[in-house]
C-alpha cells in the first residue's frame, strides 16, 4: 500500500508558468471534468521580496491530461475590477455534482469576508448562486447530494464569540438549491486537533470511500518560540499543516476518524520559503480508479504542489 509521496516535480504550477502578470500561484481547486483535469488557481500579482507594487488577485485556469503537467489559459478567468464593495475572489475549490462544476471561493468585501458558491459549465461564464454573511470562507461542496440536499463544509470566523483568540472551527450547512443554506452544525473544533493551537478550516472537497467521506483540512499552529521563513513580514509564526479526517457517509457532520498527526507539513524548500513560509493549504483531492489519491495544496502561499497516496493508506491513518 503506497504511503504519502510528494511529487518530485513539485511545484506543479508557479508564477513562471503563467503567461500574464503573476507573483504567487497557490490555493487552487482541482477536479476532473469532461475527461480533463482542471485547475482553477489563485494568482496574486505585484508582490516581490522587499515590496509590493500595483498588486492584485485574479483567478486563472489550467488544464492537464495527467494531473501533473499543466497548460495555463492565456488570460485570467475572473478578476474583480472597479467594484465599490467587492475587492477580490480567491482560494477557489471545485466540485462536480450531477455533471456541473461548482466553485466555492472567498470574497473580500468592504464589509467583511464572504463565502461564495458559483456554477460553471465552460470555465468562461459562471453564475453566482449564493454569498454568505461575513465572516466565513474555506467553503467546499460534497460531490453528491445527501438526502436531496447539497452539503457544504465551511469555516466561519467568530472573533467576538471565540474570545478574540483566532480559534475557528469547521462547520457544515445544507441547501436544497445551493442558494439557501441552513441546518448548520459544528463538525470539528480546533480543540479536537492536536496539532492546532489556532484555527482550522476545510481543505479540498471530500471524496467518497466505503469507509466514509475522506477529507483534508488545514490546521494552524502559531509558534510563540520561533520565527518562520517568508518575505511578507519578519514576524511570520503561523505554520499551516494539512490534516486528514473521515466523516460519516450519511451524516458528514459526524467525524468518525481523524489522523492525530499532520498528513502534510512543510519540509521542502518550496514549502518552507516563499511569501508566507511553512504554509500548506490543501484545496483539491482526486480519487483515481486505481485507488491513488492526488492531493493538491498551496505551498508557502507561493506555489501549487501535489502529493499522492493510496486511499486505503489514508483511511488507515484515520482509524
Ligand atoms: C489564510 C488565507 C489563505 C492563506 C493562509 C496563509 O488566512 O488568507 O488564503 O493561504 O491564510 O497565509
pLDDT tens, position by position, for the chain (319 residues)?
899 999 999 999 999 999 999 999 999 999 999 999 999 999 999 999 989 999 999 999 999 999 999 999 999 999 999 999 999 999 999 999 999 999 999 999 999 999 999 999 999 999 999 999 999 999 999 999 999 999 999 999 999 999 999 999 999 999 999 999 999 999 999 999 999 999 999 999 999 999 999 999 999 999 999 999 999 999 999 999 999 999 999 999 999 999 999 999 999 999 999 999 999 999 999 999 999 999 999 999 999 999 999 999 999 999 9
Q: Take atom 8 of ligand 1 and give the residue whose Cα is closest.
A: 91
Q: Is the pTM of this model over 0.85?
A: yes
Ligand 1: atom nearest CA of 276 is 12
Ligand 1 residue neighbourhood (C-beta within 6 Å): 27, 91, 240, 276, 279, 281, 298, 301
Report CA(256)–ligand 1 centroid distance (Å).
27
Q: How far apart are the first and last CA of the chain?
A: 16
Helix (H) or strand (E) holding 272: helix 269-272
Number of structural domains (the chain) is 1
Q: Which of 279, 282, 283, 303 to mutate to test the pocket of ligand 1 (most atoms within 8 A of CB)?
A: 279
Mutational pocket test of ligand 1: of 44, 140, 237, 240, the residue with most ligand atoms within 8 Å of the beta carbon:
240
Task: Assign residue 26 the CATH number of its domain.
Answer: 2.115.10.20
What would you report as the CA-atom Rg of the chain, rounded to the nearest whole angstrom?
Answer: 18
Structure-block grid coordinates of residue 248: 460519516
Residue whose CB lies within 8 A of the most ligand 1 atoms, among 157, 198, 301, for a mutation test: 301
Domain range holding 174? 5-318
Between the CA of 240 and the centroid of ligand 1 the distance, in Å, is 9
Residues 6+ apart with CB under 8 A from 268: 6, 10, 299
Amino acid at each position: 500500500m503506497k504511503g504519502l509521496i510528494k511529487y518530485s516535480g513539485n511545484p506543479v504550477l508557479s508564477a513562471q508558468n503563467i503567461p500574464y502578470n503573476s507573483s504567487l500561484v497557490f490555493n487552487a481547486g482541482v477536479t476532473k471534468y469532461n475527461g480533463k483535469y482542471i485547475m482553477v488557481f489563485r494568482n496574486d500579482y505585484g508582490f516581490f521580496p522587499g515590496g509590493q507594487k500595483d498588486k492584485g488577485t485574479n483567478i486563472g485556469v489550467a488544464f492537464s491530461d495527467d494531473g501533473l503537467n499543466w497548460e495555463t489559459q492565456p488570460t485570467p478567468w475572473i478578476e474583480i475590477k472597479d467594484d465599490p464593495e467587492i475587492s477580490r475572489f480567491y482560494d477557489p475549490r471545485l466540485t462536480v455534482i450531477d455533471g456541473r462544476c461548482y466553485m466555492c471561493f472567498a470574497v473580500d468585501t468592504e464589509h467583511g469576508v464572504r463565502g461564495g458558491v458559483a456554477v460553471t459549465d465552460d470555465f468562461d461564464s459562471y453564475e453566482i448562486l449564493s454569498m454568505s454573511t461575513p465572516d466565513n470562507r474555506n467553503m467546499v461542496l460534497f460531490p453528491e447530494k445527501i438526502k436531496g440536499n447539497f452539503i457544504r463544509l465551511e469555516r466561519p470566523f467568530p472573533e467576538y464569540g471565540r474570545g478574540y483568540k483566532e480559534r475557528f472551527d469547521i462547520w457544515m450547512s445544507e441547501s436544497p438549491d445551493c442558494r439557501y443554506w441552513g441546518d448548520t452544525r459544528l463538525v470539528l473544533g480546533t480543540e479536537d486537533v492536536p496539532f492546532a493551537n489556532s484555527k482550522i478550516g476545510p481543505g479540498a472537497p471530500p471524496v467518497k470511500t466505503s469507509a466514509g467521506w475522506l477529507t483534508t483540512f488545514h490546521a494552524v499552529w502559531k509558534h510563540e518560540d520561533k520565527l518562520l521563513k517568508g518575505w511578507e513580514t519578519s514576524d511570520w509564526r503561523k505554520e499551516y499543516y494539512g490534516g486528514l479526517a473521515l466523516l460519516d457517509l450519511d451524516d458528514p457532520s459526524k467525524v468518525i476518524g481523524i489522523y492525530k498527526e499532520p498528513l502534510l507539513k512543510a519540509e521542502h524548500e518550496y514549502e518552507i520559503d516563499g511569501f508566507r513560509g511553512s504554509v500548506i493549504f490543501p484545496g483539491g483531492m482526486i480519487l483515481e480508479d486505481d485507488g491513488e489519491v492526488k492531493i493538491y495544496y498551496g505551498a508557502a502561499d507561493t506555489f501549487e504542489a501535489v502529493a499522492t497516496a493510496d486511499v486505503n493508506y489514508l483511511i488507515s491513518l484515520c482509524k
